[in-house]
């Protein structure tokens, strides 16, 4: 069938059984939920392909998307000029990365699907027409400056959960809305004007401000009563608590871009009613480690943790380290004392070097015999030394006696 150039698969019900679930009237039935369309990639001469409102058979089924589509094989359709996809609730690649292979694609319609990224669309060099409404796209920056991109609407998605807080000037039950939608890159397409609003049937907040921080939309709202919301679940075919137990609000927005194009959509916002902040300080109240903030709904359990802080020793905790979230913010403070400077550990003495054993003395060499006749002639004998000493002593005594006699006679005269 490589000759086939046009294929329209519209409102088709697939048969099979890889899951068992309850239908709308509570009956347990079998249903094929994952459908692989990869073989369509073998139709390499296709110019036009329409996949619309494809579903899985289920007794007493609700006519909502019930299947998960495997579409990666379509990347082989390099000759395709137009692709239309509508009413496909879930795919194995919600970023639609396989679109990058459709290098000759001129017209693309992707409506009411799980598409959440348009990077692959921006790589289609021959594209002249695009419709990506009613999906889950939050960031339009890859395509907002393209000529083929025009107004789009009804994209919906989950914002990151937020917590309520208080402000001395603005009041209580405040919520920051950060990066609701992104429309361009820094220095490129931006937001000319924007509007944030509640839905008329869920007016549970007041808008205090909306600002465009460069190419992104932010805002501050003041909450009234939190509402519970369900999202459609492709697995069950009904709206239920799918992905998140949503307790908060729906935020509707419209932005006009600096190039005149308009984007509208809405977001689900899960709001926590209370916070617990764990602080880590020294005895003087100085912060020694970053705060840990937990968010939760009133009545939920919380637990804080003692940190190991280098250079400090834990002293005490002020507040309840565990407990339940209340309708007012709570603070738990962990107090530490600074460690004393540790003394330098003494260096172990070096082991003394063992003394070297003395070398055995060398036996003296026997003296060489010499002729001693000359020494015998010059050295006095023992008797001769004693005689000389006696003569000398006698002479001194005689002299002394003479001197004494002379002095005696002289005095008498």
CATH number at residue 57: 3.80.10
With 90 as the cut, is the pLDDT of residue 131 above it? Answer: yes
Task: Look up residue 13 and give its two tokens.
Answer: 């019900």
Phi and psi torsions of 157, nearest 5°: -170, 175
In the listed set 104, 137, 170, which residue is the last one of a domain according to the structure? 137
> For 151-177, what is the mean pLDDT?
90
The Cα 130–Cα 398 span in angstroms is: 153
46-75 pLDDT per residue, tens: 999 999 988 876 655 555 667 889 999 999
Shared-domain flag, residues 308 and 320: yes
Q: Does 216 reside within a domain?
A: yes
Identify the DSSP state of 323. Answer: E
Q: Is the pLDDT of residue 293 over 50?
A: yes
- Domain range holding 292? 274-338
Query: How many whole angstroms separate alpha carbon 285 and alpha carbon 335?
Result: 8
Q: Which residues contact 219 (CB under 8 A, 6 or more apart)?
A: 176, 177, 180, 196, 207, 208, 209, 210, 211, 251
State the total domains in the chain. 3
pLDDT band at 191 (very low <50, low <70, confident <90, very high): very high
Kindly report the backbone phi and psi dihedral angles of residue 93, in degrees, each rounded to the nearest multiple of 5, phi listed first. Answer: -130, 95
17 contact partners, CB below 8 Å, separation of at least 6: 30, 31, 32
Is residue 247 in some structural domain? yes
Question: Which tens digits make up the pLDDT trace of 79-98?
Answer: 999 999 998 878 999 999 99
Instruction: Please give the average per-residue pLDDT across 370-399, as a whole number.
Output: 51
- Strand-strand pairing, 13-14 and 262-272: unpaired
The rounded mean pLDDT for the chain is 82
The answer as to whether 197 is a domain residue is yes
| Spatial distance between the Cα atoms of 251 and 176, rounded to a whole number of angstroms | 12
Give the tens place of pLDDT for each residue, 329-364: 899 999 999 998 444 555 665 665 565 555 555 554
pLDDT, tens digit, for every residue of 302-314? 999 999 999 999 9
DSSP symbols for 124-190: -TT--EEE--SS---B-TTTTT-TT---EEEEEEEPPPEE-EEETTTEEEEEEE--S-B-S-TTSS-
Does one domain contain both 261 and 290?
no
CA pair distance 179, 212, nearest whole angstrom: 9
pLDDT of residue 370: 46
The two tokens of residue 230 are: 């369900």
Give the predicted TM-score (pTM) of the model.
0.68
Q: Determine, yes or no, domain membership for 387.
A: no
């Amino acid at each position: 069938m490589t000759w086939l150039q046009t294929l329209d698969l519209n409102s088709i019900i697939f048969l099979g059984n890889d899951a068992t679930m309850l239908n709308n009237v509570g009956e347990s039935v079998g249903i094929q939920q994952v459908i692989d369309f990869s073989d369509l990639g073998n139709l390499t001469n296709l110019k036009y392909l329409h996949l619309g409102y494809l579903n899985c058979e289920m007794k007493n089924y609700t006519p909502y998307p019930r299947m998960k589509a495997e579409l990666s094989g379509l990347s082989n359709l390099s000759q395709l000029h137009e692709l239309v996809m509508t009413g496909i609730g879930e795919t194995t690649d919600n970023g639609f990365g396989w679109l990058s292979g459709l290098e000759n694609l001129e017209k693309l319609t992707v409506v009411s699907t799980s598409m959440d990224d348009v990077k692959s669309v921006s790589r289609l060099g021959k594209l002249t027409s695009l419709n990506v409404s009613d999906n889950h796209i939050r960031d339009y920056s890859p395509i907002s400056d393209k000529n083929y991109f025009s107004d789009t609407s009804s994209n919906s998605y989950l914002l990151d959960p937020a917590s309520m807080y208080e402000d001395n000037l603005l009041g209580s039950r405040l919520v920051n809305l950060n990066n609701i939608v992104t429309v361009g890159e820094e220095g490129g397409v931006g937001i000319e004007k924007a509007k944030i609003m509640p839905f008329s049937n869920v007016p549970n907040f007041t808008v205090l401000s909306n600002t465009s921080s460069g190419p992104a939309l932010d805002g501050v709202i003041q909450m009234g009563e939190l509402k519970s919301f369900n999202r459609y679940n492709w697995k069950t075919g009904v709206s239920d608590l799918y992905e998140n137990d949503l307790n908060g609000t729906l935020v509707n927005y419209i932005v006009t871009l600096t190039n005149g194009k308009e984007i509208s959509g809405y977001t689900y916002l899960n709001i926590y009613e209370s916070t617990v902040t764990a602080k880590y300080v020294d005895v003087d109240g100085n912060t020694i480690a970053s705060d840990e903030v937990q968010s939760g709904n009133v009545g939920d359990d919380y637990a804080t943790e003692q940190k190991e802080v280098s250079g400090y020793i834990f002293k005490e905790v002020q507040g309840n380290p565990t407990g339940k979230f209340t309708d007012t913010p709570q603070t738990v403070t962990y107090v530490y004392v600074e460690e004393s400077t540790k003394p330098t550990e003494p260096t172990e003495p070096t082991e003394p070097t063992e003394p070297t054993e003395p070398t055995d003395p060398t036996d003296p060499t026997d003296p060489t015999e010499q002729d001693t006749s000359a020494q015998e002639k010059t050295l006095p004998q023992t008797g001769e030394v004693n005689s000389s000493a006696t003569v000398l002593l006698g002479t001194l005594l005689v002299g002394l006696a003479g001197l004494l006699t002379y002095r005696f006679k002289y005095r008498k005269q």
